[in-house]
A and B are shown apart, each in its own frame.
Chain A
């Protein structure tokens, strides 16, 4: 194949050589500040209960940890090109698979919580099989109705599911909220680590390849159906797990928490934070859940309007979400910084 080396590549370079070199140097040096910010955040969150123990803020943070995992699990499904509008339903499956044996059979939460996660995974994988035939908007519509079906089944479940009022009396895990805080925090760290590993390994590459072109992916041996089912099963596991823990925390499983409304909030967290970035969902949850609760509690009644305004501004000005915007800013700043450095070196 030595003949092929003669191809003229001089016209291919779209960016000056020096700029490409900079890019590489930047990503290397940027990793360390990123890691230390992350480490600092983890440390602060780990020590925070000492200061705010038992307060309402603690509850908000527990919710935040739940939603960071659930929003991230939705994004994991989305990297394989599947816009799933049934994530709330999978939370619900996990919650009821935990709540029903807990309430009626008095099983220990330490059994029912894994049961909820496994149930959501299995149902997710089984449903993903037929749904793997649908793509793009048809997949979204299919899962939209799937979500409705699950909620309707729950409300039609009679005494077993508590119908539309929900199933109360789910046995709590702990009596002290601080334990819940650490449980949710720990689960979030472990879940995010698993998702990070998945996305940035070859499995994530396969999923992203399918999202871009299932035909090209198939031509190099990446099976579309198998990887899409895997994505849904993986995402459902974490959604189901968090749904199960959440209902033990609240003591009640209610269909309202798992309907279309819940799903749309989760999707909004991801879109606001940035769907193309691993940290997007966490940033989105922080923006839309934590900041209003901590700093704008007086707004409470007007919160939907504020949220709507934030969403519109983001949709129009930063289609890549907040993380996308931050990335663009840091790129520009560091490029200017580099340029200054280079000109400073010149005699």
Chain B
């Protein structure tokens, strides 16, 4: 298993946001994490990436216990993520958003940076080149010098993904990548996510939009902080508990 949580629990005061949550993600899978509003999906992400400290339970990444690590340490281990809201450095240009995500590969020490050593200059040249490649791939190269805040919403989301890709993650956590997108943008994004998997990146998606079921190998359904069902998209669609908890009686597939 690339990612595994065991008995993950998070309490905010008296409110139990996530309770005894187990999830396994194998290398090369696309796993969907779905559930109604406030079910605790994003909290699970924040627990995995160390944004919130866990109340109890463990997070294992590639067999290694990463519970309690700081977010930047988790990123360093190879878990990239996008954000639902505020996914960018708004005052940076599109290009700077991507280059600033190359912190990890290659990393320049403070000494190298301050004294502008050959190693630092070589790293920077490499970063600039790779950043342009990534922007080319996501189709944002033509706006590389625009400020990120001036991009339309769909492209900001795409830039968020580009930024996460620049950290060269083994596991990518996508937080509602389809929200606020129109149907054609959704199609493009689904294609993009699939091609990332084909390039060897394991993907865990939190999503509201049921279109995501087309993409997933496996789906985990969470409601009121607890896992209520797990299986293939078809199994989940057929599960009565899921239908009553999430889709509602009127849901038409």
Contacts and interface: CB of A to CB of B under 8 A. Distances in A.
A205 B123 CA distance: 15
Contacts of A20: 145
A7 B113 contact: no
A93 B200 CA distance: 54
Given A5-B137, A201-B116, A206-B103, A219 B96 contact: no
B89 A219 contact: no
Interface residues of A, number: 39
Interface in B35-59: 49, 51
B91 interface: yes
A33 interface: no
A24 B95 CA distance: 15
Nearest to A225: B70
B193 to A, nearest CB: 10
A216 B80 CA distance: 10
A207 to B, nearest CB: 11
A3 B158 contact: no
B43 to A, nearest CB: 14
Contacts of B137: 1-2, 4-5
Interface string A2-22: 111111110111110000100
Interface stretch (B10-18, B163-171, B209-217, B229-237): B163-171
Contacts of A206: 100, 103
Most buried by B among A1, A4, A6, A9: A4
Most buried by A among B124, B138, B194: B138
Contacts of A230: 110
Contacts of B72: 217-218, 221-224
Nearest to B49: A219
Nearest to A198: B114
Nearest to A214: B71
Nearest to A197: B114
Contacts of B92: 208-209, 212
A208 B91 CA distance: 9
B81 interface: yes
Given A201-B116, A219-B83, A223-B72, A13 B100 contact: no
B224 to A, nearest CB: 25
A121 B80 CA distance: 35
Contacts, number: 132
Contact of A7 (B110, B158, B164): B158
B113 A203 contact: yes
B100 A4 contact: no
A215 interface: yes
A208 B150 CA distance: 18
B75 interface: yes
Given A12-B152, A212-B89, A218-B71, A3 B192 contact: yes
A219 B100 contact: no
Most buried by B among A2, A6, A15, A215: A215
Nearest to A205: B100
Given A1-B137, A1-B199, A202-B113, A221 B76 contact: yes
A9 B143 contact: yes
A59 B55 CA distance: 61
Given A209-B89, A220-B166, A14 B150 contact: yes
A213 interface: yes
Given A7-B138, A12-B152, A222 B113 contact: no
Contacts of B139: 4-9
Interface string B106-142: 0010100110100010001000000000001111101
B113 to A, nearest CB: 5
B6 interface: no
Interface string A165-209: 000000000000000000000000000000001100111011011
Nearest to B46: A215
28 contacts: A1-B195, A2-B195, A4-B139, A4-B192, A4-B195, A5-B136, A6-B188, A12-B143, A12-B146, A12-B152, A12-B155, A23-B145, A201-B116, A201-B120, A202-B108, A203-B110, A208-B92, A209-B100, A212-B89, A215-B51, A215-B83, A215-B86, A216-B89, A217-B89, A220-B166, A221-B72, A221-B167, A223-B72
Given A12-B155, A223-B70, 7 more contacts: A5-B139, A9-B142, A201-B113, A201-B116, A201-B120, A208-B89, A221-B103
Interface of A: 1-9, 11-15, 20, 23-24, 197-198, 201-203, 205-206, 208-209, 212-213, 215-224, 230
Interface of B: 49, 51, 70-72, 75-76, 80-81, 83, 86-92, 96, 99-101, 103-104, 108, 110, 113-114, 116, 120, 124, 136-140, 142-143, 145-146, 150-152, 155, 158, 163-164, 166-167, 188, 191-192, 194-196, 199
